[in-house]
Amino acid sequence: MGEYHIRIVNVNKSFGPVEALKNVSIDIPRGNFTTFLGPSGCGKTTMLRTIAGFYELKEGEIYIGERLINRVPSHQRNAIMVFQDYALFPHMNIGENIAYGLKIKKIPNEEIKSRVEKTTSYLGIQGLEKRNPGQISGGQQQRVALARALVMEPEVLLLDEPLSNLDAKLRMNIRAELRQIQKRLGITTIYVTHDQAEALALSDQIAIMDTGRIIQSGTPWEIYYKPLNEFVADFVGTANLITGRVSESSDKYLLLDIDAAQIMIEEPNLSVDTGSTVTLCIRPETIEIFKGMPEDKTNVLKGKIVNYIFEGSQIRYWVEIDQKKVVVDSFDPSEKGIYEGEVAIRFHPKKMHILYGKE
């Protein structure tokens, strides 16, 4: 993944009796887009603000490159933060907002003009320089906040839920632009969000946080398809969590008894003893659904559709099997039609992931 640009080592942070960060460690490669993802109050914004230098660090170490920055003032870290509310100055026009940091640093006027022109052009907001923040849209304000950070040519870009104030469609468009810009610039970026789809779409690396700890870190693919435990599986995407008892075990397959059925898992990700109880994570898109019984009955269970939602490109079904509901996503409904009533579903033998634990 390249050399590490940011190293966070055994960081702890408390506010009075409240432990906001507990022994947090993670390495971030140069040019990487890393997202801290988790529910409200999990510590992700505290971690971001600690990196930025807004909170004093008493335990642990943070490095940018070879430089230990624990005691470096925020304005000397060359890590610029873009806030959730954009924090634009209402009494300044857009050009003045973008140039503000450069003027504070006493950059020559010609260089300021050149940098502002280059950055506004890059972000598609040229021509707005004379307007005030209240005269432009939310999406444009977001680009201005980003321009104000990028014009400083920071070593590290810190983003605190910058898209949360935008409507859903605009948020999707701008996150695609943001990822494209980050790749083009190659700037090391740390992003904070509670939006799982945003994290999966943007990130090279995701760190799942809960109660001040990093529970799991990895690529979006690893986090989604290989969750460590039930918290990660349930928080990132939709997961069917199915518990059963292992009736037969080998390196190549497991047989798992679940209620009135038996399912086979090929190439299991964990070695599990016969007689053990395990929990599987099965993603809705990996499950097949049939109106009648298929010829191959391996891992096929009968059930009844109790609800469905048509979403255009897919239909999401809730199928009741032995009083438990299984979520199934069926794609291209124009070809398959909409199923109702009695159905059969099949679990793919190689697309079930055994969880390591609950927490």
Over the stretch 10-67, which tens digit does the pLDDT of each residue have? 999 999 999 999 999 999 999 999 999 999 999 999 999 999 999 998 899 999 999 9
Residue 200 tokens, joined: 């999966």
Picking from 182, 204, 235, the residue at the C-terminal end of a domain is: 235
Q: Is 269 found in the same domain as 203?
A: no
Supply the CATH number for residue 349's domain.
2.40.50.100
Residue 244 has a pLDDT of 94
Environment class of residue 16 by beta-carbon count within 10 Å: exposed (0-12), middle (13-18) or buried (19+)? Answer: exposed
Give mean pLDDT, residues 103-113. Answer: 93
Least-confidence region, from 120-129, 163-172, 195-204, 239-248: 163-172
Q: Return d(Cα 235, Cα 227) in angstroms, integer.
A: 10
Q: Is 166 found in the same domain as 281?
A: no
Is residue 76 situated within a structural domain?
yes
Supply the CATH number for residue 95's domain.
3.40.50.300
Picking from 177, 202, 235, the residue at the C-terminal end of a domain is: 235
Return mean pLDDT, the chain.
92
Q: What number of other Cβ atoms are within 10 A of residue 311's Cβ? A: 11
Q: Model confidence over 256-277: pLDDT tens digits?
A: 999 878 999 999 999 999 999 9
Question: Domain of 157?
Answer: 4-235
Give mean pLDDT, residues 189-207. Answer: 95
Q: Is 259 found in the same domain as 143?
A: no
Q: Model confidence over 288-300: pLDDT tens digits?
A: 999 989 988 899 9
Q: Is 259 found in the same domain as 197?
A: no
Helix ranges restricted to H, the chain: 44-52, 94-104, 109-122, 138-150, 168-185, 196-202, 220-225, 230-235, 333-336
Q: Is 277 found in the same domain as 323?
A: yes
Q: Is 244 found in the same domain as 230?
A: no
Give mean pLDDT, residues 85-94. Answer: 88
Picking from 212, 235, 258, the residue at the C-terminal end of a domain is: 235
What's CA 128's distance to the chain center, in Å?
Answer: 32
Q: What is the number of structural domains in the chain?
A: 2
Is residue 158 situated within a structural domain?
yes
Q: Is 273 found in the same domain as 152?
A: no
pLDDT above 90 for 239? yes
CB of 228 closer than 8 Å to CB of 356:
yes
Q: Is 313 found in the same domain as 214?
A: no
Is residue 222 situated within a structural domain?
yes
Is residue 40 situated within a structural domain?
yes
Paired strand residues for 205:
34
Q: Is 230 found in the same domain as 208?
A: yes
Q: Is 322 found in the same domain as 224?
A: no
Residue 219 has a pLDDT of 98
Is residue 260 situated within a structural domain?
yes
Q: Is 91 found in the same domain as 26?
A: yes
Is residue 329 situated within a structural domain?
yes
Q: Return d(Cα 36, Cα 46) in angstroms, integer.
A: 11
Q: Is 277 found in the same domain as 216?
A: no
State pTM to two decimals. Answer: 0.90
Is residue 359 situated within a structural domain?
no
Angle value at C-alpha 222, between 217 and 36, nearest 5 degrees: 35
Residues 339, 345, 350, 354, CA torsion sign: positive
Residue 1 has a pLDDT of 42
Is residue 320 situated within a structural domain?
yes
